[in-house]
A and B are shown apart, each in its own frame.
Chain A
Amino acid sequence: MAKYLLLKHYRGAPAAVNDVPMEKWAPEEITAHLRYMDDFAAKLEETGEYVGGQALSPEGMWVRYDGEGRPPVTDGPFAETKDLIAGWMIIDVDTHERAVELAGELSAAPGAGGQPIHEWLELRPFLPESPLTTECPDR
């Protein structure tokens, strides 16, 4: 019963094994890929492990406070180093092993040539607010 964030990256992650940009896939390969992702989410809804998920636009900006009475600073000379996140999904699973298993399954989504893209996904556990109540009686 721990929550994990599965992150898909536009870039910043190591290249996928089957690394062909999506615009070079056949249309039906894109359809198959998107269906796989939808089916994956639906399956997790069915198992009661799905918490939420959303795709993110590749467009985004950096914003920073620039001092009292001044408008926030947006973007900088570093736009191309932004580690853009393509989308995320939150799952709630019994064990860390299960989280790894599901991330592996999502990474097997079909890509060019109908082959799994072997995409690298980032898997991050959520920090719960408070400690376990009894794991340590000296508390």
Chain B
Amino acid sequence: MPGPLNEVLLRSLTPQVLTVLVRRGADFATAEDAVQDALVEAVRVWPADPPRDPKGWLVTVAWRRFLDATRSDAARRRREVRIDEEPAPGPAPQADDTLQLYFLCAHPSLTPSSAVALTLRAVGGLTTRQIAGAYLVPEATMAQRISRAKRTVSGVRFDSPGDVATVLRVLYLVFNEGYSGDVDLAAEAIRLTRQLAGAIDHPEVAGLLALMLLHHARRSARTAPDGGLVPLAEQDRALWDTGAIAEGVEILQRALARDRLGEFQAQAAIAALHADAPSAEETDWVQIVEWYDELARLTDSPVVRLNRAVSVGEADGPRAGLAALAALDDTLPRHTAVAAYFHERDGDLTTAARLYAEAAATAPNRAERDHLTRQAARLNAGRAR
């Protein structure tokens, strides 16, 4: 019985085994293929015959696959000379130096989607089929994306340190992809970020992990049983995962104590204030506005400016919200939806209904479109009565 435990173990060993092969001189692309082959073999063999040293077993099998794959290669001789100089396969070193893999898979020479795919495959140990399913593209398309990515980074020196911010961006992209397909990418992103946080001491890595945990904790309350969107104020807070919230808050507090603020820590702080509030009414919107001001200093994101206007309206009333909105470009995504909301709170239901309908027409996804359409219909029905 392979069971979920084995799969988790296998996936956590993937980057370590890959690192060993590359350290022994294997080129990245061939090594990655060899490791995938070894994983498939492990799924087949382990249930009946579990190894005592799973990592050592995987290294041995993957290394053999790598040799098979390169045997006919023109570079065979050179490789064999190098192999002779390497220590024989045996108990693998326990030091986890898979950090380099994160940097390699998020290398700036890759497009965002390639970096995401390669990270999920090489660091996360997912199969190409699983990744393709999660991104709703054909398996052949994802296979091409991954093999191009591998070729792109094959010339990159494995030991050159990369930029943590790039790695974090990739993990953030994975998390944001949400829940389509049979692989839970949000959970996968948390697992990989947790692993990264264990390997590297960096406040923003902790900040991203905290942000993910705090968001994930509210996940089951965010959608109604029919798939519809449930706004924050209407969410059943009993559904929030208090364990994940406590962990996120603790990680965040330790990161903030180091006084090296970054955008993920600031975002996590906002998420923590929401998670801490016993009810929507008791949310500390004043402090949330202050965090948005920090965030605006760190990034010049239009989303941040819009979200700040939302929290100003919540803190100081709908008129203040509308005034803050008026200072922003009205072509920003969700600008119209927020304006509709504040007009409703201000009692101007006619304008609100019109703006909700307008916002629905330009909504960026189905869940929001349906939600906004319902809001418009609700107000129109109320006025007709």
Please report A residues at the B interface, Cβ cutoff 8 Å.
1, 3, 45-52, 92-94, 127-139
Tell me which residues across on chain B come within 8 A of A1, comparing CB atoms. Answer: 112-113, 116, 135, 173, 177
Residue of A nearest to B271 (CB): A137
The answer, among B112, B141, B175, B267, for a CB contact under 8 Å with A50, is B141
25 contacts between A and B (CB under 8 A): A3-B136, A47-B145, A48-B113, A48-B137, A48-B145, A50-B138, A50-B141, A51-B137, A51-B138, A94-B112, A127-B363, A127-B366, A128-B364, A129-B180, A130-B179, A130-B367, A133-B219, A134-B175, A134-B215, A136-B303, A137-B270, A137-B271, A138-B270, A138-B288, A138-B307
What is the count of residue pairs linking A and B with beta-carbon distances less than 8 angstroms?
105
Contact A48 B114 (CB under 8 A): yes
A-side binding surface: helix, strand, loop or mixed? loop
Contact A48 B365 (CB under 8 A): no
Contact B232 A139 (CB under 8 A): yes
The answer, among B111, B113, B229, B311, for a CB contact under 8 Å with A131, is B229
Tell me which residues across on chain A come within 8 A of B363, comparing CB atoms. Answer: 127
Tell me which residues across on chain A come within 8 A of B116, comparing CB atoms. Answer: 1
CA distance A3 to B31 in the complex (A): 31
CA distance A130 to B227 in the complex (A): 9
Tell me which residues across on chain A come within 8 A of B216, comparing CB atoms. Answer: 133
Known: A45-B140, A131-B365. A92 touches B178 (CB 8 A): no
Contact B303 A127 (CB under 8 A): no
Interface centre among A1, A49, A93, A127, by most chain B C-beta atoms within 10 angstroms, is A1
CA distance A67 to B340 in the complex (A): 38
Interface centre among B114, B178, B369, by most chain A C-beta atoms within 10 angstroms, is B178
Known: A46-B144, A94-B112, A131-B367. A52 touches B138 (CB 8 A): yes
Residue of B nearest to A50 (CB): B141
Residue of B nearest to A98 (CB): B111
6 interchain residue pairs of minimum CB distance: A48-B145, A48-B144, A137-B270, A128-B365, A137-B271, A1-B113
Residue of B nearest to A139 (CB): B232
Contact B176 A47 (CB under 8 A): no
Contact B232 A131 (CB under 8 A): no
B305 at the interface (CB under 8 A from A): no
Tell me which residues across on chain A come within 8 A of B271, comparing CB atoms. Answer: 134, 137
Query: Distance in Å from the Cβ of B188 to the closest Cβ of chain A?
Result: 13
CA distance A51 to B114 in the complex (A): 15
Query: Distance in Å from the Cβ of A100 to the closest Cβ of chain B?
Result: 16
Residue of B nearest to A130 (CB): B367
Residue of A nearest to B275 (CB): A137
Known: A130-B366, A138-B310. A49 touches B172 (CB 8 A): no
Q: B170-189: contact bitstring with A at CB < 8 Å (1 yes, 0 no)?
A: 00110111111000001000
CA distance A1 to B114 in the complex (A): 10
Tell me which residues across on chain B come within 8 A of A94, comparing CB atoms. Answer: 111-113
CA distance A48 to B186 in the complex (A): 23
CA distance A132 to B215 in the complex (A): 11
Contact A134 B369 (CB under 8 A): no
Tell me which residues across on chain B come within 8 A of A129, comparing CB atoms. Answer: 180, 365-367
